[in-house]
Structure 1
Amino acid sequence: MENPLHVCYNRCKKETISMKKFVLFLMVFSFFYTPSLFAHDKKILIINSYHRGFQWSDDVLVGMEEVFYNHPEITTNILYMDSKRISSEEYYAKLRELYKLQLRNHQYDLIVAVDKFAYDFIVKYYHELFTTEPVLFTGLEQFEIEDIQKEGLEDRVYGILERRAIPETIPMIAKMMPSLKKLYIINDASANGDDSEPFIRQAMSEHNSEFEIEYIRSSTLEELEERFSKPNKEEAVFFIRFYNDKYGNLYKNSQIASMINKSALPVFITDTLFIEKGAFGGKLVPVKSVGRITGEMVIDVLDKKLQPLHVKTLIEYHYQFDVQKIQQFGLYPNASVKAFELVNAPLTFFDKHRKFVDAVFLISPFLLFLVLGIIHNIYMRIRSEKELKAIELQKNKHQQFIIQQSKLAEIGEIFSSIAHQWKNPLVEIATIAQEHVYSSADQGDEQSNEYVNAIMVQVRYMTDTINDFQKFIMPSTQRTVFDVNEAIETMMKIISHNIKYNYIDVSIDVSHATNVMVSGYKNEFMQTLLNIVNNAKDQIKETRENKQIKRGIISIRIYNHSKKVIIDIKDNGGGIPIDKLPNIFDAYYTTKESGHGIGLYMSKLIIEDKMGGKIRVSNTLEGACFSITLGNIS
């Protein structure tokens, strides 16, 4: 018989071996499948050259935080040096002693220096404050490798250089202002101003023979306001920075913005701090982007993807210009800049009075008058704003198309609001009529049924009309394949009453076996046909009033030729004067006394630039003939 002690011992031994295997399995599983248990938090120390509330560095920090949001393993600690207010050597020596106490027994994975003061401070006192931590600087305009070699830090420094578009801005100003005779350049007497000065001097040397340049580094805001208080179309201001005046006073951003906004001369800038705050605009460094790019480099340094002395120059810029300043000074960026963004545009009537319009929609039965008033307001605003017209004249054709779509979308939004308010009452009218008749004692009366049917027919007609016009007025959002014949018939249905009451006969002829499917923008195509038909209607009306014809005729023929879809629109209105035919599709060219000259221009833009087709016009014996050629879908 086996000894019970041996049995117990062997069982315990087996269980111990099994437990060891189980523990080993858990360790391996945890290593491969739960890496977060072993993840190392990354600690970053940010030393900011300035105080909290200084907008430039605050925007940089916001950009960095946007990147760190997706990296929960990163924790940051920020120290503010306040170097705009105090920048003496005695202050920095005291700050060094304070930081020694604060940073004692703290180890960081990375030190980030925001702008020049923090970077110079870290390099000078690195060996007293830190041990082996890498350093990443951001916002500097100049970097000298010799400075870090003296301190033996070339194996741990990375950085982002901010290059302001100083060399590009001065010739841009000269192109926008051909009559420029004097340019003021403002740059304060700070250490940052010293870094910018070589770039300013170089740019000045390249252009001082073209016009006078006055370089201002020592002044006050009050003196600058006085100097730039008188308008002069031959002068401009190029603002780099001006935080410290000649007496050492520090200005707030709001004070600087006030000075810029009061200037009677256009003020060009180099970053986004003062756009929409009085500056005209320029080729701008997006400050938050500086922060985001810095945050991305922080991640790469922590992940050891970059080698020391990796210094990147930020070359991301945004061309931005203030619409209200464009109107004030009559300057347009199109001649010197191809792609740009307009900011601070005035609010539309609908935006300004949205609550009022909504209230009127709810209580007034005369909605149509309100819509006509709004549309008239939009039209008169476009005609009266000559400065914005000049911008539109010089913009490329794609921008013209976008502007036209935005106007249609605005009108479409207004009409959609009306349609929404109208549809519910129409349904209520039909419901009330049915309930009234069928709930009465004579609910089976034939005459009552005829009344209900008549009401329903009218309600359905009004609803269909609203739906058709609502679909027609909204711009197309993307290219689609559509039926040309169906689009033309829909357009003619919408304006049928207008055509009928002007004594015009319209015929649509589709040749046998014609492929009428094309790719493009259906609503914009319908707008093109509407422009041509309306022009024909106006010409026919004038010719008939002169008793040259008795009844108007518009014939539309659709056929295929060389695998293309051809649409010919002919009328008997007498035609277009020969001398005006070459200019008929030009922007703002019109043969009518009250015309705005945009309809046929937009038609040509839609057909040729947006749909890849052709549009031309000629005269026949009876009138004008517009011919549209589109590629079909085989």
Structure 2
Amino acid sequence: MKKLLFFLTLFVLCYAHPLCAKEDKKILIINSYHKGFQWSDDVLKGMEDVFYDHPEITINILYMDSKRINSKEYYEKLRELYKLQLKNQKHDLIVAVDKFAYDFLIEYYHELFTDEPILFTGLEQFDVKQIHAKGLDDRIYGVMEKRAIGETIPLMAKMIPHLKKITIINDASANGDDSEPFIREAMQEFHDRLEIEYIRESTLEELEHRFATPKKEEAIFYIRFYNDRYGNLYKNNQIANMIHKSALPVFITDTLFIGKGAFGGKLVPIQRLGMKTGEMIVNVLENKIHPLHVETFDEYWYQFDLQKIKQFDIYPNPTVPEFELINAPETFFDRHRKLIDAVFLISPFLFFLILGLFHNIYMRIRSEKELRAVELQKNKHQQFIIQQSKLAEIGEVFSSIAHQWKNPLVEIATIAQDHFYSCLNENDEKNNQFVHDIMVQVRYMTDTINSFQAFIMPSTTKTVFDVNDAIETMLKIINHTIKYNYIDVKVDISHATNLMVLGYKNEFMQTLLNIVNNSKDQIIQQREEKKIKRGMIAIVVYNHAQKVIIEICDNAGGIPEEKLPHLFDAYFTTKKQGHGIGLYMSKLIIEDKMGGKISASNKNDGACFIITLGNVT
């Protein structure tokens, strides 16, 4: 009995004492993409599900953002950043999520790490020679992702007996390059039975237009399409919207877009891929597997969207023996199962539940009233900010107009003097000419003040206006201010085909004036400091994807990088006597009132503002 008590005590003390617990493990995860990219987020979620049962594992995640920025220069900068971040840090395992992170680690491993093992996940291609060349044979593990490309085309042919054409969509990314051999192999196998078109470069707008017409003998096989031919990165909701709008059934290879517009197919469950990766990570940390252990994840789910099955009249059965239906309608019992169970379990408390519901409704109504009041106050505040900014610019504009008046007034005085001294000796025709000259100058003064009054009048309703006309009007008003400060302004609309937009023209001109005046002030400062000889402001207007893009760039040295994120904040200014509401007002006008977008960056030797507005066709 004493021995039993001794061993029980020893057991409790051992497992309660930190020295007997599992040793802490540190994992560094380098994610190829940005936070919010659904594929990698699902992989990480699967890993975390496994790590939940392993509290000894601590993870640190670095995001490379390789979908939005992918260049050798960027990776070299990233290497330098990681050198600083990882200096004097030691990890038990480095995990690379997808191809970009893996290639980055292999390329710069010996600069960033010492002897830490690497485990990759999500790759479709793996080259042992590359590992051997870098001397990393003794520290590589991995989980390969295999898409069912070769199996999906015959599946489509069986489910659609009258199928004659398949369009395969795969973007021109590095991931797309890895999938291409499997796509080419499948195309070769079925080229004599089906017409197969392969698309790697396009835009979502083009694809939406192309697949807007129903064709019963055609279908789409979607692999991926995150980057278009211009390098733009699409979000998952934009891709899902394109897939949902398609008048052709869209077969897919993983679970990202099932239930979001895709018809379905033989799918890689992305979160399960993450769980498989998490299980291998645990095995590596516990030394249960040896280096160069690479597994292929070949688990698939057959899933189909019931709504799309009804839309296209295509049924998986009996082609697929076991499958899951997504978006299947629930029965009344399924929809209200919890409520029905609750009725039997908590019927004595129904009275209090009803009171609680009434109270909840009351609080919701009250909350909505408060939200409406806050929203109303917000709108008033925005209008106040806009009017404040207009008043702040009036002095600047009025100074320009006063300068414009000086020349005509001097001219009028000269003409009047000439007329006075010569009227006795000249005929009526000469007198008439003098009168005519005087009236021309007076009319010029009248037109100037009218333009000024029209400019400062707030717009009351949205109208369709020409962006180029607004730019020219704004430049006429400040022409002398620009001219006598030795600034060249160039407007280029040579690549524009449609410059009509819907919005508030005067407020839009105020936005342009804010930006141009900021450039002018910075140019004057740069010239006073002998950094430039002559100022330059370039305004380029062009169309892209049914949008009007206005770029306003200068040569005034740019904006400090640390101030760029706050440039459009209220009351933030880079000037000693600035009021800090000009650019904030500009953002409110462009984004809140006109539904567009405004951003700023440094480009070449100055600042560059980009305004994007929707076209009116």
Which bracket does the TM-score occupy, shorter chain normalised?
0.5 to 0.7
Counterpart secondary structure, 1:335:
coil
The equivalent residue for 1:401 is none
Match of 2:238 among 245, 255, 258: 255
The equivalent residue for 1:286 is 269
Distance 1:64 1:124 in 2: 25
The answer to whether 1:64 aligns with 2:47 is yes
Match of 1:298 among 281, 289, 304: 281
The equivalent residue for 2:291 is 308
The answer to whether 1:151 aligns with 2:142 is no
The answer to whether 1:212 aligns with 2:192 is no
The answer to whether 1:270 aligns with 2:230 is no
Using the TM superposition, give the Cα deviation of residue 250 of structure 1 relative to its aligned residue in structure 2, in angstroms: 0.1
Using the TM superposition, give the Cα deviation of residue 28 of structure 1 relative to its aligned residue in structure 2, in angstroms: 8.8
Task: Assess, with a 3 A threshold, how the Cα gap between structure 1 residues 417 and 31 changes in structure 2: closer, same or farther.
Answer: closer
The answer to whether 1:111 aligns with 2:106 is no
Percent same amino acid among aligned pairs?
70
1:459-538 matches, within 5 Å, as: none
The equivalent residue for 1:22 is none
Distance 2:296 2:335 in 1: 43
Distance 2:313 2:185 in 1: 29
The equivalent residue for 2:69 is 86
Higher Rg:
1
Distance 1:241 1:120 in 2: 20
Deviations 1:367-425 (A, max 9, x none): xxxxxxxxxxxxxxxxxxxxxxxxxxxxxxxxxxxxxxxxxxxxxx89x989x99xxxx
Counterpart secondary structure, 2:68:
coil
Distance 1:253 1:346 in 2: 25
Task: Assess, with a 3 A threshold, how the Cα gap between structure 1 residues 29 and 287 changes in structure 2: closer, same or farther.
Answer: closer
Counterpart secondary structure, 1:346:
coil
Distance 1:30 1:150 in 2: 50
Using the TM superposition, give the Cα deviation of residue 211 of structure 1 relative to its aligned residue in structure 2, in angstroms: 1.1
Distance 1:51 1:130 in 2: 23
1:360-371 matches, within 5 Å, as: none
The answer to whether 1:227 aligns with 2:210 is yes
Which amino acid in 2 is paired with 1:256?
Answer: I
Distance 1:92 1:287 in 2: 27
The answer to whether 1:191 aligns with 2:174 is yes
The equivalent residue for 1:327 is 310
Task: Assess, with a 3 A threshold, how the Cα gap between structure 1 residues 352 and 36 changes in structure 2: closer, same or farther.
Answer: closer
Match of 2:18 among 23, 26, 36: 36
Match of 2:328 among 345, 369, 383: 345
The equivalent residue for 2:528 is none
RMSD value, Cα: 2.7
Distance 1:96 1:69 in 2: 31
Deviations 1:234-293 (A, max 9, x none): 000000000000000000000000000000000000000000000000000000001000
The answer to whether 1:122 aligns with 2:105 is yes
Using the TM superposition, give the Cα deviation of residue 351 of structure 1 relative to its aligned residue in structure 2, in angstroms: 6.4
The equivalent residue for 2:592 is none
TM-score, normalising length: structure 1: 0.51
Which amino acid in 1 is paired with 2:209?
Answer: E
Task: Assess, with a 3 A threshold, how the Cα gap between structure 1 residues 93 and 349 changes in structure 2: closer, same or farther.
Answer: same
Using the TM superposition, give the Cα deviation of residue 336 of structure 1 relative to its aligned residue in structure 2, in angstroms: 1.6
The answer to whether 1:244 aligns with 2:221 is no
Counterpart secondary structure, 1:174:
helix
Task: Assess, with a 3 A threshold, how the Cα gap between structure 1 residues 100 and 325 changes in structure 2: closer, same or farther.
Answer: same
Counterpart secondary structure, 2:65:
coil
Using the TM superposition, give the Cα deviation of residue 66 of structure 1 relative to its aligned residue in structure 2, in angstroms: 0.5
Counterpart secondary structure, 1:150:
helix
The equivalent residue for 2:160 is 177
Match of 2:121 among 130, 138, 153: 138
Deviations 1:421-464 (A, max 9, x none): 9xxxxxxxxxxxxxxxxxxxxxxxxxxxxxxxxxxxxxxxxxxx
Which amino acid in 2 is paired with 1:57?
Answer: S
Distance 2:299 2:180 in 1: 21
Using the TM superposition, give the Cα deviation of residue 58 of structure 1 relative to its aligned residue in structure 2, in angstroms: 0.3
Distance 1:344 1:196 in 2: 29
Counterpart contact for 1:324–1:346, Cα < 8 Å: no
Using the TM superposition, give the Cα deviation of residue 40 of structure 1 relative to its aligned residue in structure 2, in angstroms: 2.1
Distance 1:261 1:206 in 2: 29
Distance 2:167 2:235 in 1: 22
Distance 2:195 2:312 in 1: 20
Deviations 1:127-146 (A, max 9, x none): 00000000000000010001
Distance 2:42 2:336 in 1: 34
Distance 1:46 1:141 in 2: 19
Which amino acid in 2 is paired with 1:239?
Answer: Y
Using the TM superposition, give the Cα deviation of residue 347 of structure 1 relative to its aligned residue in structure 2, in angstroms: 3.9
Runs of at least 4 residues off by over 6 Å: 27-31, 350-355
Which amino acid in 1 is paired with 2:186?
Answer: A
Which amino acid in 2 is paired with 1:105?
Answer: N
Task: Assess, with a 3 A threshold, how the Cα gap between structure 1 residues 256 and 28 changes in structure 2: closer, same or farther.
Answer: same
Task: Assess, with a 3 A threshold, how the Cα gap between structure 1 residues 178 and 135 changes in structure 2: closer, same or farther.
Answer: same
Counterpart contact for 1:48–1:80, Cα < 8 Å: yes
Which amino acid in 1 is paired with 2:315?
Answer: Y
Using the TM superposition, give the Cα deviation of residue 346 of structure 1 relative to its aligned residue in structure 2, in angstroms: 2.5
Which amino acid in 1 is paired with 2:40?
Answer: S
Deviations 1:134-174 (A, max 9, x none): 00000000100011111100100000000000000000000
Distance 1:327 1:28 in 2: 66
Counterpart secondary structure, 2:325:
strand
Counterpart contact for 1:175–1:335, Cα < 8 Å: no
Unaligned ranges ≥5, structure 1: 1-24, 359-412, 422-634
Task: Assess, with a 3 A threshold, how the Cα gap between structure 1 residues 317 and 152 changes in structure 2: closer, same or farther.
Answer: same
Distance 1:328 1:232 in 2: 13
1:431-442 matches, within 5 Å, as: none
Counterpart secondary structure, 1:296:
helix
The equivalent residue for 1:5 is none
Distance 2:155 2:71 in 1: 38
Distance 1:140 1:44 in 2: 19
Deviations 1:42-92 (A, max 9, x none): 000000000000000000000000000111100000000000000100000
Counterpart contact for 1:187–1:217, Cα < 8 Å: yes
The equivalent residue for 1:441 is none
Using the TM superposition, give the Cα deviation of residue 205 of structure 1 relative to its aligned residue in structure 2, in angstroms: 0.3
Task: Assess, with a 3 A threshold, how the Cα gap between structure 1 residues 353 and 299 changes in structure 2: closer, same or farther.
Answer: closer
Distance 2:165 2:95 in 1: 41
Deviations 1:103-128 (A, max 9, x none): 00000000000000000000000000
Distance 2:192 2:95 in 1: 43
Task: Assess, with a 3 A threshold, how the Cα gap between structure 1 residues 157 and 31 changes in structure 2: closer, same or farther.
Answer: farther
Using the TM superposition, give the Cα deviation of residue 348 of structure 1 relative to its aligned residue in structure 2, in angstroms: 3.8
Distance 1:201 1:340 in 2: 27
Which amino acid in 1 is paired with 2:122?
Answer: G
Which amino acid in 1 is paired with 2:82?
Answer: Y
Task: Assess, with a 3 A threshold, how the Cα gap between structure 1 residues 127 and 354 changes in structure 2: closer, same or farther.
Answer: closer
Using the TM superposition, give the Cα deviation of residue 34 of structure 1 relative to its aligned residue in structure 2, in angstroms: 4.9
TM-score, normalising length: structure 2: 0.53
The equivalent residue for 2:301 is 318
Which amino acid in 2 is paired with 1:326?
Answer: I
The equivalent residue for 1:629 is none
Distance 1:82 1:353 in 2: 43
Distance 1:354 1:173 in 2: 37
The equivalent residue for 1:402 is none
Using the TM superposition, give the Cα deviation of residue 354 of structure 1 relative to its aligned residue in structure 2, in angstroms: 9.4
Unaligned ranges ≥5, structure 2: 1-6, 348-617
